């Protein structure tokens, strides 16, 4: 297996405990342990633990940290409450998406979590476009362990191990405290599954100790380690986008249904193009669809309306929660309203039942 793959502080643990490992964004990562469907059910009904150390993290400090972030990011960082988190996009001048991120506004820093595959281009973009600001950009990706605890029992699992009152930590907010009585950590109430949960950031060398402590604390709640396969299914069920699927450099946030992450009232790279697209009408829209039967419209599957191709599936999978195939697709605006959409699978047509997104969530309201 490629010897140049990067590892996380938990790679040895994953291998020792029977994880199936795969290359992902340059890292040697676990795709599954007990099985994807079993792991999805664990997250939905109990609690699961994820290794997210492959994700990138940047920290902006200095007098112009918020102004610099506002120049690059689609959200209004300066107006965010302290200790708040927002979903944001990094856009090209054309409005296409370089990456989607979570931005954390602290008292004296802005913390940005980026996708693993975009670590290098995101850092380069920030450095290029923040050069005229009085800001220091520090890459902390390889200094930190990043873990996620997701599911209905996540709070009861984490609470005994930290000195933070988790009942007062609201969704999409973060705080700082100690884990295991001695390890300083940033703790956020966030996740990528549609469930309640937390993400933890702390020193890299403490990764195995915290991971194993969380697994012990969660034993009575039926905790399992969760791989990338189940994570992808959970995020698809939750209608959450993945860079390179629902969005890319040729797709704008507005087309991908991500307008909630864009503040067009303030200036940022790509704003003018997005305003023009909003005012002129969107050429494409993101839809959700389910399928009767077992055939799954996978990523890249053409979406047909009669004899015309009107779009492509961006993410498709079997949903253990809904017990049917589900898919998200980018299609011509108005195509879903006209009806008669079908997925073209190896020259066979499968009717797509248009659904509001998300397919499942305990936090987000379904959009028709």
Q: What is the DSSP string of 22-51?
A: EEETTEEEEEESS-HHHHHHHHHHS-EEEE
- Residue 21 CB partners (closer than 8 Å, separation 6+): 1, 11, 14, 15, 28, 29, 30, 31
Q: What is the mean pLDDT of each run of 10 residues along the chain (368 residues)?
A: 82 98 98 98 98 98 98 98 98 98 98 97 98 98 97 98 98 98 98 97 98 98 98 98 97 98 98 98 98 96 97 98 98 97 93 96 73
Q: Residues 360, 233: contact at Cβ < 8 Å?
A: no
Q: Which two tokens stand for residue 98?
A: 């370089």
Rg, the chain, Cα only: 21
CA-based max dimension of the chain: 64
- The model's pTM is 0.96
Structure letter (DSSP) for residue 64: T
Beta strands of the chain (E only): which ranges? Answer: 20-24, 27-32, 48-51, 56-61, 84-91, 97-105, 110-114, 136-139, 144-150, 174-179, 183-188, 197-203, 224-226, 284-290, 302-305, 308-319, 324-332, 341-345, 348-351, 353-355
Q: Which two tokens stand for residue 279?
A: 């005012």
Helix H, strand E, coil C: the string for 198-260 is EEEEEEHHHHHHHHHHHHHHCHHHCCEEECHHHHHHHHHHCCCCCECCCECCCCCCCCCCCHH
Q: Which two tokens stand for residue 263?
A: 């503040």
**pLDDT value of position 347:** 78
**pLDDT value of position 1:** 42
**pLDDT value of position 3:** 61
**pLDDT value of position 366:** 74
Q: Residues 58, 109: contact at Cβ < 8 Å?
A: no
Q: Residues 22, 228: contact at Cβ < 8 Å?
A: yes
Domains belonging to the chain, first-starting first, are: 11-55+142-237 (3.30.1360.120), 56-139 (3.30.70.1400), 283-368 (2.40.30.110)
Torsion of CA 166, 167, 170, 176, to 10 degrees: -30
């Amino acid at each position: 297996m490629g010897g140049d793959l990067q590892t996380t502080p938990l790679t040895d643990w994953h291998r020792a405990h029977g994880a199936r490992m795969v290359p992902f964004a340059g890292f040697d990562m676990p795709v599954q342990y007990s099985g994807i469907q079993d792991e999805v059910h664990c997250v939905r009904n109990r609690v699961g633990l994820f290794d997210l150390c492959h994700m990138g993290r940047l920290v902006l400090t200095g007098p112009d940290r918020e102004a610099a972030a506002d120049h690059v990011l689609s959200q209004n960082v300066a107006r965010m409450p302290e200790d708040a988190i927002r979903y944001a996009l990094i856009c090209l001048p054309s409005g296409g998406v370089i990456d989607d991120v979570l931005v954390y506004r602290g008292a004296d820093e802005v913390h940005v979590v980026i996708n693993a595959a975009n670590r290098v281009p995101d850092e380069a973009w920030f450095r290029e476009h923040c050069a005229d600001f009085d800001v220091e950009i520090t890459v902390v990706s390889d200094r930190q362990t990043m873990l996620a605890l997701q599911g209905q029992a996540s709070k009861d699992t984490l609470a005994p191990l930290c000195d933070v009152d988790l009942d007062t930590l609201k969704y999409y907010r973060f705080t700082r405290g100690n884990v295991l009585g001695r390890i300083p950590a940033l703790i956020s109430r966030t996740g990528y599954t549609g469930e309640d949960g937390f993400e933890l950031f702390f020193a890299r060398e403490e990764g195995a100790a915290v991971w194993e402590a969380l697994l012990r604390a969660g034993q009575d709640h039926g905790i399992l380690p969760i791989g990338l396969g189940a994570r992808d299914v959970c995020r698809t069920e939750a209608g959450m986008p993945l860079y390179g699927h629902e969005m890319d450099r040729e797709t704008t946030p507005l087309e991908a249904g991500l307008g909630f992450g864009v503040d067009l009232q303030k200036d940022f790279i790509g704003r003018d193009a997005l305003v023009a697209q909003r005012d002129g009408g969107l050429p494409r829209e993101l839809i959700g669809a389910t399928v009767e039967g077992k055939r799954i419209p996978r990523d890249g599957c053409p979406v047909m309306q009669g004899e015309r191709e009107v779009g492509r599936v961006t993410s498709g999978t079997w949903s253990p929660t809904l017990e049917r195939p589900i898919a998200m697709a980018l299609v011509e605006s108005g195509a879903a309203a006209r009806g008669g959409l079908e997925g073209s699978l190896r020259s066979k047509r499968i009717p797509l039942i248009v659904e509001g997104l998300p397919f499942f969530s305990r936090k987000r309201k379904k959009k028709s």
